[in-house]
Amino acid sequence: MQDSYLNVNLLSYVKKEDVSEDAANIILIATKEQSERYAFQKSLAQNIDKAFAENRTEVIITLGDKQNFITITPNKETEPLRLAGASLYTALQKQQTQTAKLRGLEELTEVERYAFLEGMLLSSYDFNKYKTKKKQLPIEVYIRNRSFPKDKITELKTVAEAVSLTKTLVNEPVNYMDALRFSSAATEAGKQFGFETEILHKEQIEELKMGGLLAVNKGSETPPTFNIFHYKPENAVNEKPLVLVGKGVMFDTGGYSLKINGNMLTMKCDMAGGAAVLGAVAAIAGNKLPYYVIGLVPATDNKISSNALVVDDVITMMDGTTVEVQNTDAEGRLVLADALTYAKRFEPELVIDMATLTGASAAITGSFGIAVLGNSQEKINELKEVGEQVYERLVQLPLWKEYKDLLKSTVADMSNLGGPIGGVSTSSIFLEHFTDYPWLHLDIAGAAFVKENKGYRQSGATAVPVRLLYEFIKRKCKDD
């Protein structure tokens, strides 16, 4: 995949004498004492004092011999600092600034500096592939060697590139990004970031008897693929792998349970879970984290044809379970179920699946977070803590045994639809049936794709939960 959508050269180290004399100044003001040391003019000093009094992030642009961007960051929590970095990048972009020097990072801790620079870098993504006129200008911001270690900059850029890859995969329309093209992009990513890819095609999927994936694919002219990503470094701290599973429905019409009232718009994002698995493995491998990780992505689209899946069909899943199809728009759980069955062969320490699975989840979280369910409370608690850190927050929903009754079928082992109540929980109960290991489910339907720009998130794909999974595994490397 091209990474022209992300300004990876935004943050640079160069020798002082190589910086253009015309470069703008960015002065990061993190404390009032720091502001006093600069001896700003009275009116500017008053504006800075007011921002601190109101605990308000602000970017003030001043003109003189050079352009100055005074960035005031009174709130030192990581998410406000990311948003401050995003505000700065937006200001640079609006002013069409191409080169600037950043000072003042030394007033922040390393964690705080990372968050600020992360907000800047994530803000630089721009999916402009199909626009004949490109609005984005290249911006370079130079920082001092002593203000941030080079290895941390490299780590940050690698994570940002993986996030960019994820966003682009989701933002691409299905007439370009189908199941076959996704597998091709995954193979390229493996070469770039340093992990192995294994692609199973339709004949192999049929041999494995993946009835869920094959059933959803029946309406498509494009064959399905089953994508496997292997990352096992020699210094891995875990013997059994952590397996990431992502829904790869490249476009979802709903099938014969057709989406109506405009609900089919943006359904290119129904593969956001699969894209996030690829992005997370890319970030982990690219930064050489010492952790054994496997990614699984069943990929297909859900379309309509004369032989497509219909309601009342009964299908047989990979593990032999028979399923009565009561809604062809509840297809994501069918493809994920086969992948969860496939994951058993790895004897995993933990499996985390992620999917834009239910509108019920989006109604609960909106774009502000992710629904989480699972059979390991300890792992849920760990992931929730990391979610607060990276601001991809989690809300836990129940997996009560009573929900199983809603999936009963009179003609098969179970139904793929639980009825009008507890939609997130019944979909998760369905998935749990195909597990025999520690397992978590992330329903990202609300947060994976947004309509409007906000902070460091552009309209369209958000790449949730790539950063969440990266930090979760990074923390496990330290703990282990």
Determine the 3-state secondary structure of 9 from DSSP: coil
Report the distance separating Cα 116 and Cα 225, nearest Å. 39
Please check whether residue 419 is in contact with residue 406, taking contact to mean a CB–CB distance below 8 angstroms. yes
457 catalytic? Reply is: no
Phi, psi (degrees; rounded to nearest 5) at 27: -115, 115
DSSP H or E run through 381: helix 377-390
Please name the amino acid found at residue 340. L
Helix and strand numbers, DSSP H then E, in the chain: 14, 20
- Vertex 336 angle, CA 195 and 443, to 5°: 95
Active-site residue, from 103, 209, 232, 259? 259
Q: Give the orientation angle of helix 423-432 with respect to helix 332-343, to 10 degrees.
A: 30
Q: Which helix (H) or strand (E) holds 26?
A: strand 24-29
Q: One of 82, 157, 181, 333 is an active-site residue; which one? A: 333
Helices 78-94 and 110-123: angle between axes, nearest 10 degrees: 40
3-state SS record for 64-94: CCCEEEEEECCCCCHHHHHHHHHHHHHHHHH
Q: How far is CA 322 from the centre of its chain?
A: 33
Contacts 24+ apart (CB under 8 A), 74-77: 74/30, 76/30, 76/108, 76/109, 76/112
Q: Where do we find the tokens 């008053």?
A: 46
Task: Provide the 3-class DSSP secondary structure of residue 58.
Answer: strand
H or E stretch at 464 = none
**Single-letter amino acid, residue 20:** S
d(CA 336, CA 354): 9
Alpha helices in 95-220 (DSSP H): 110-123, 150-171, 179-193, 202-207, 211-217
3-state class (DSSP) for residue 257: coil
Q: Is 333 an annotated catalytic residue?
A: yes
User: Within 10 A of 253 (CB to CB), how many other CB atoms are there?
Assistant: 21
β 225-231/293-302 pair status: antiparallel
Answer whether 58's CB lies under 8 Å from 72's CB: yes
Instruction: Tell me how far apart the alpha carbons of residues 401 and 419 are, in angstroms, rounded to a whole number.
Output: 15
Q: Are 440 and 350 in contact (CB under 8 A)?
A: yes
State both tokens at 473.
């595994």
Q: Looking at the annotation, which residues are catalytic?
A: 259, 333
